[in-house]
Amino acid sequence: MAVWFNIKLLITMGVERKSMRRGGGLRRHSVLAWLRMWRVVQKVERAAAEHLRAYGLNYAQFDVLAHVGAAEGSRQKELGESLHVTKGNISHLVDQMERRGLVSRRQEGRTNRLYLTEEGRRLFEEVVPAHEDLVHRLMSALPEEEQAQLHELLRGLDRSL
């Protein structure tokens, strides 16, 4: 019987370490690492979403704001790839932000280039550092050095995916 079966439970119940040894030797770190990663992302996202709500943004909208603010003139295509959402969703998101007066489209051939409005820029300057701080606080549950290790490992993983 595969290890998987009770992993979520094991983690929930905190007995993962014990069970890892039961089967004889440590195995399937891959899967356990994945489950942990998933949980961590859930938690951080939840905290971040709650924090962003104070600014009237959800996480996806924040991402658009941050990306466009960092790279004025981005195309929607690029945005979609960077944020891992479909182009339909990007269309919708940009609609929202435009209606709210935070970003503006400038059509250029068959692509749209995106820019922040003045108000968008103001919100950007306010929200982005705050969000960065939040993430930093959360991640600082790990000591500085381990954060760096983590970063390095994840970078390797990301690149070969």
Partner DNA sequence: CATGTATAGTTTAATACTGAACTTTGAGGT
Partner DNA sequence: ACCTCAAAGTTCAGTATTAAACTATACATG
Q: Which residues bind its own copies (CB under 8 A)?
A: 2-9, 12, 16, 26, 28-34, 36-46, 63, 66-67, 69-71, 78, 81-84, 128-129, 131-132, 135-136, 138-142, 144, 146-151, 153-158, 160-161
Q: Confirm or reject binding of residue 97 to DNA (CB under 7 A).
A: no
| Interacting partner of 120 out of its own copies, DNA, none (Cβ under 5 to 8 A depending on kind) | none
Q: In the structure encoding, which two tokens stand for residue 96, read together?
A: 């929202």
- Of 22, 29, 99, 110, which lies in the binding site for DNA, with binding defined by CB under 7 A? 110
Q: In the structure encoding, which two tokens stand for residue 121, read together?
A: 């820029």
Q: Confirm or reject binding of residue 84 to DNA (CB under 7 A).
A: yes
- Of 111, 115, 117, 134, which lies in the binding site for DNA, with binding defined by CB under 7 A? 111
Q: Confirm or reject binding of residue 75 to DNA (CB under 7 A).
A: yes
Amino acid of residue 38:
W
**Where are the alpha helices (H) located in the chain, listed in sequence order?**
7-13, 16-22, 29-53, 59-70, 76-83, 87-99, 118-139, 144-159
- Of 48, 60, 128, 135, which lies in the binding site for DNA, with binding defined by CB under 7 A? 60
**Cβ atoms of residues 57 and 69 within 8 Å:** no
Amino acid of residue 8:
K
Least separation in angstroms between residue 97's CB and DNA is: 11
Least separation in angstroms between residue 62's CB and its own copies is: 11
Measure the CA–CA gap between 158 and 100, rounded to whole angstroms.
Answer: 34
Residue 6: DSSP 8-state: G
User: Which of 113-136 are b and which e, b meaning 16 or more Cβ less than 10 Å from the residue's Cβ?
Assistant: bbebeeebbebbeebeeebeebee
- Of 92, 136, 137, 151, which lies in the binding site for DNA, with binding defined by CB under 7 A? 92
Which positions touch DNA (CB under 7 A)?
49, 58-61, 75-77, 80, 84-96, 105, 109-112
